[in-house]
Amino acid sequence: MHCKILNTKLGPLEYSTIGKGIPILFFHGGHSNCKETLSHKGFDTNKYRLITPSRPGYGKTPLYNNVTPRKTAGLIITLMDYLEIETVIVYGISAGGLAAIELASGYPDRVSKLILASAVTKKWLNESSKIYRTATKMFNPKIEWLTWGMVHFFSLIYPKLISKRFFPQFSSNNDSEITLSDIHELIAALKNYRSKNGFLNDINQNIQNEVISKITCLTLIIHSYYDNSVSIEHAEHAHKQIKGSQLEILNNQWGHLIWIGNDSGQSIKIMESFINGNHN
């Protein structure tokens, strides 16, 4: 995936764009960047234009002063203006959920539909929790390059082992067999992962309830019952706050990673149906 740099008044912004047709703007999850393609799965690039910016702190988009979801949304508006795109379908993934919510809430005339996929919709991690403390150590900007360097190295040598080790981070579904196809898709996603300054910023972000409750566009919330990364409470919270939203709960294999597994076609079909107007 080839990424470009746009210099804006709010700072540099790295992004990728592929395809033509209906524009869909992706807010990638934690550790990812503009090279994200897993969430593009199932989209026909002859029908859709897939736009993926590196969120502040990731890839070659510096954090600068864009530390809040609201400021990230403002930065993305400059990209839309540059690309001469009036309205987009916003697709918020995991830790990218809060910025996606801010864009849909703060710029209602620029967002036609909103998809929240395995998305964070409120404060994510409790600062006193073990997972928060571990994350601040493993993904600290000073050593995250080493953490991911080891993951990338061992992914090449022991892809099956790495997949088995990562699986419980994403899914609580213990009734699963990891296929060769699953391994290939996961390793392909992991090879571009880096936390940089972005992830520590993500886990300290929050938004107010009145922000999410102001969303008026058609909204699909899709989440797995087995999500072991972002609690299903986030999906329920968004559904409660966004009037008329559509909530889809999946009983899938890979939990948080709804794009991997033999059952991933179900989630892709639900999202495409929503985009094409066949929503509840």
Which amino acids are annotated catalytic?
Answer: 94
Strands 48-53 and 11-19: antiparallel
Look at the block and give the residue holding tokens 């994510």: 124
Q: Which of 81, 86, 99 is nearest to 23 (CA)?
A: 86
Sequence-distant (6+) residues with CB within 8 A of 272 are 42, 43
250 and 276 Cβ atoms separated by less than 8 Å = no
DSSP secondary structure code for residue 139 in this structure: T
Residue with tokens 């009036």: 86
What b/e sequence results for 202-233 when a residue is b if at least 16 CB atoms lie within 10 Å of its CB, and e otherwise?
A: bbebebeeebbebbebbbbbbbbebbbbbeee
Q: How far is CA 11 from CA 62, 88, 189, 266, in A?
A: 8, 22, 27, 39
Phi/psi region, residue 79 (left: phi>0; alpha: psi -120 to 50; beta: rest), is alpha
Parallel/antiparallel/unpaired status of strands 22-27 and 88-93: parallel
Query: Of 149, 148, 180, 138, which is closest to residue 163 (Cα–Cα)?
Result: 180
Instruction: Please say whether the beta carbons of 223 and 83 come within 8 A.
Output: no
